[in-house]
Amino acid sequence: MPLRPVWIVALACFANLFVNAEAGNALALQQRLIQVYEKNKDAVVRVKAAFTEPDLVDAEASIRVRVGTGFFISREGHVLVSASRAAGADRVWIEYHGKAYATEPVGHDRLTNISVLRVLSPPEDFSIISLDGNVGHPPIGAVAVSIAMPLDFDPSPAMGLFTGVDKKLAHQVFPTEYIRTTIPVDAGQGGGPVLDINGRFIGMTVASIPDLGGSYCLPVDALIRVRDDLMFAGKIIHGWLGFEVTAQLNELDSDEVILSKVYEGAPAAEAGLQKGDRLLSIGGRDIGEVTDIRGAIFFARANQFTSVKFERDGEIQEVSVMTLPRPEQMPEITPVEKQEVEAGDARPDGELIDAVPESTELVE
């Protein structure tokens, strides 16, 4: 039966409304992205670090400059940058609105690829990005916005998606959870802030995933953990409870994390934990698999009490453990940038290396 004229008009009106609604949504998204960029762009800086590299042929040292992105986090001029840029450099400076500013290192952590610098004479006017530890992980599929300083360009936004929260990649076990995005970091973009569509700071890019054309960012709660230790002691003071664990299959064919060894005299032993106890949580963070242990211990601050919930003989118990600094002889995972890189690995954030400029005027 042919459509009546009134139906044709109704369908046309509905289609027009749908198209207009979609166009309105797209414009609203565009405007929101512009607002997020405008609010945060004046906190973003270009980072340049000069390294002396020996020339094996001419036996003369050469100077190379690694270029990246960073951002202000305090009115005192503290800047977060990638440790793959700043750690071990002979000199590090930032460029902000066309001027170069000298910095001094506050602390470096190669494991998480985070460095804190302090600008000696900060610009008169700049913005900061506040770190709010109460901001949780964004939902998978949410819009991600990064702001970085690619090549010699001004702060530039990039849009992608939050695609996952990972504890490991291939054979690498991360020090804590990393947030995965579809935003690539190359040509000086590493170290930039990542925000959600509401402008909330989610994390900082610390590693690229070349095989996926994406990147990892360190979540804001972990970033606060690193920042606090670097500003207090210049390095991360890793907590230590003093036990080893193993995964054990239960009668429901699911893994349980079991204490396989408790070191004599260690904080865990002093609190009463025993070999064979099933771990349930550390510091309020659930333990469902072995890879959860490292992330939970990451947030257990040295010389503070940490709650440990466990099951023994079918009874759930909870104790408070005084976490100690990790003994020097305990092994520490080698930073990614010093490992042999294999397919599927996450690399330190995209790097741009230039020859050192003939003259660089720094604002002291």
The CA R_g of the chain, rounded to the nearest whole Å, is 25
Position with higher pLDDT, 169 vs 5? 169
Looking at residue 245, its pLDDT comes to 92
Nearest to residue 128, comparing CAs of 44, 219, 190? 44
pLDDT at 10 over 70: no
Q: How many CB atoms lie within 10 A of CB 216?
A: 28
pLDDT at 338 over 50: no
pLDDT at 27 over 70: yes
For the segment(s) 1-236+333-364, the CATH number from 3.40.50.150, 2.40.10.120, 1.10.3720.10, 3.30.450.20 is 2.40.10.120
* 247, two tokens: 């995964």
Looking at residue 177, its pLDDT comes to 93
Average pLDDT, the chain: 85
Percentage of residues of the chain with pLDDT beyond 70 = 81
Band of pLDDT at residue 15, cut at 50, 70 and 90: low
Mean pLDDT of 41-60: 83
Phi and psi of 173, rounded to 5°? Answer: -105, 125
pLDDT at 277 over 80: yes
DSSP 8-state secondary structure symbol assigned to residue 137? P
Tokens 């360190």 found at? 218
Looking at residue 173, its pLDDT comes to 84
Distances (CA, A) of 225 to 232, 236, 278: 11, 9, 27
Looking at residue 339, its pLDDT comes to 40
Highest mean predicted confidence (pLDDT) among 46-60, 153-167, 249-263, 335-349: 153-167
Band of pLDDT at residue 45, cut at 50, 70 and 90: very high
Position with higher pLDDT, 97 vs 19? 97
pLDDT at 9 over 90: no
pLDDT at 46 over 70: yes
Band of pLDDT at residue 59, cut at 50, 70 and 90: low
pLDDT at 3 over 90: no
Looking at residue 232, its pLDDT comes to 92
pLDDT of 215-232, one tens digit each? 999 999 999 999 999 999
Mean pLDDT of 32-49: 96
Band of pLDDT at residue 330, cut at 50, 70 and 90: low
Tally of residues, the chain? 364
pLDDT at 163 over 90: yes
Model pTM score: 0.82
Nearest to residue 130, comparing CAs of 201, 230, 229? 201
* 88, two tokens: 């071990």
Beta bridge partners, 156, equal: 148
CATH number of 239-325: 2.30.42.10
pLDDT of 98-121, one tens digit each? 999 999 999 999 999 999 999 999
| CB hemisphere CA count around 268 (13 angstroms) | 26
Q: Domain residues of the chain, as ranges?
A: 1-236+333-364, 239-325
* 303, two tokens: 């010389």
